[in-house]
Structure 1
């Protein structure tokens, strides 16, 4: 990204809440709304926007994120680069929202979309997973049937003994889809071993974050018949060395790593170490999906379904068709002349 301009920026920060269509369950948590921090950077001619959700399991929420940005208001309004943000703020939702606002601002200033600024090829629609929250097996099967357009489904599991039945029920309901299972740290080596035959039988393609953060050694010698993906165990590029030889897939989330700048650094470093890439989300509107969509072009697994859970999305918005997500430049990260 280019150096900051001399014109002083106007920083605006606010918290918004978007209710979910229905409650969403994962291991240890139930969500009824997405709360997000919105950052806007206005140079008097164009305005850049970023959205951050934060990382709930790190107590990184919009209410804690906003003071982090306000404390740097003078520095931000004076103008900084995204590379400088890596030293000014820790990885997390605050830096994500601010970093994405700077990228959006620069795209509008340069009259080029973000993907072009990054030297990437023109985007295409990406096959994305659609998520079924953890619940009773028959409820999850019903939810999977409702996802008529889905070609890939991610099943949220929990820390009890019903996960094999959950996977069997969803597979029976949707024999046609690519399937992955997300444990959200809910397994032990014994419970994973007990559930694994059902996962194999159901054709699960990836098992995401089976073990708690700090227990990565449980992956040593696992010899899983299904590739393991790391989510909570990889926050940014500094976590990659401890995962070599333990997992095959790295889940990149902009709220975890702190923005598009670090996400691209993480993606490139992970590929150099031989990992496969996945892009995910902590929830949010199309303003959160759009910068992750840029990263998705590098990934073999894409999980960008956040807006389908909220009662109303942004305008313009990402779209979903035939199991794929498409993000026009007009949503975020495009020139000021971009239209939906």
Structure 2
């Protein structure tokens, strides 16, 4: 007799506005949700298939379906780490297992995972790639004082200047998504240091990290697309000051915890990041943000309609998830 029931549901959520980065734009958030039911308890998880690495909703749902027999028979989180590769499918299952364990034990995930006691955390608010004037207007409307600018083109410095003029007191994270011109980068970094920039994310394509070996630079540099699991950390520590840990790439909260702890041991700063998705996807990352230097978990703010019992955002900060949502 099987111990659990696994449900898989692809979800498409319209966005409030187009979300653009250096690789393109989208108007829908596509995710896969799972629900694990065992007796009177149920745990939920959600993931975002990452097109940059060849994932689709269909491929991720199929990978989860392929684990149905083992999961319903009682496969645990530890075994899951080797049963599926890092990525979105493992993330959804891993997070659902954490949630189920919390519901069964009566203990919240933050206690089970030995995380700091939850409190509201500051989140970066993302400004989609656009013209300098449009990004300045978006900056004026954005809550909080930590803004994340999507970059990737010849107007990058003008974008930074425009946002800084609009919000001179804001701290800026500059996210190249692998699209910043290598020849322009040194001058851009020097100028950005005087325009409120506190971090530059993934300026060059993954695999070209060695170009960043000549540091320290005027602004700290953070790995994103180059970072997947804890196995990458020691290599990245030679090139980057910090690492952006995303559960969808790492394969869930279990591996993300390992990444954060190894990054700290390696002397790296840590940012907890996200894909564009709702509160169910974001909840584990918000808990993990208690261990980080910075968080970028504003994904639900981009949705026209979030999930019931979703995260509460106030003035650039996000409250911890309630048990009704996750964990």
1:171 to 123, 145, 164: 164
**Structure 1 residue 331 displacement after superposition:** 4.4
Give the equivalent residue in structure 1 for 2:291: 298
Give the equivalent residue in structure 1 for 2:146: 152
Matches of 1:111 and 1:332, distance apart in 2: 15
Change (3 A) 1:42 1:102: same
Q: Is the 8 A contact 2:280 2:326 kept in 1?
A: no
Mapping of 1:41-190 within 5 angstroms?
Answer: 41-147=36-142, 149-158=143-152, 160-190=153-183
Q: Is the 8 A contact 1:96 1:255 kept in 2?
A: yes
Matches of 1:121 and 1:224, distance apart in 2: 32
Matches of 2:201 and 2:324, distance apart in 1: 29
What is the TM-score when the length of structure 2 is the normalising length?
0.97
Give the equivalent residue in structure 1 for 2:10: 15
**Structure 1 residue 187 displacement after superposition:** 1.9
Matches of 2:86 and 2:217, distance apart in 1: 31
**Structure 1 residue 190 displacement after superposition:** 1.0
Q: Is the 8 A contact 1:129 1:153 kept in 2?
A: yes
**Structure 1 residue 245 displacement after superposition:** 2.5
**Structure 1 residue 222 displacement after superposition:** 4.2
Matches of 1:314 and 1:195, distance apart in 2: 39
Q: Is the 8 A contact 2:309 2:325 kept in 1?
A: no
Correspondence 1:29 to 2:24: yes
Give the equivalent residue in structure 2 for 1:338: none
How many pairs were matched up?
A: 327
Give the equivalent residue in structure 2 for 1:333: 326
**Structure 1 residue 197 displacement after superposition:** 3.1
What is the TM-score when the length of structure 1 is the normalising length?
0.94
**Structure 1 residue 7 displacement after superposition:** 6.2
**Structure 1 residue 175 displacement after superposition:** 1.1
**Structure 1 residue 294 displacement after superposition:** 1.4
Q: Is the 8 A contact 1:24 1:30 kept in 2?
A: yes
Give the equivalent residue in structure 2 for 1:337: none
Mapping of 1:253-332 within 5 angstroms?
Answer: 253-332=246-325
Residue aligned with 2:323, SS: coil
Residue aligned with 2:26, SS: strand
- When the two chains are superposed, the root-mean-square deviation of aligned CA atoms in Å is 1.3
Matches of 2:83 and 2:215, distance apart in 1: 39
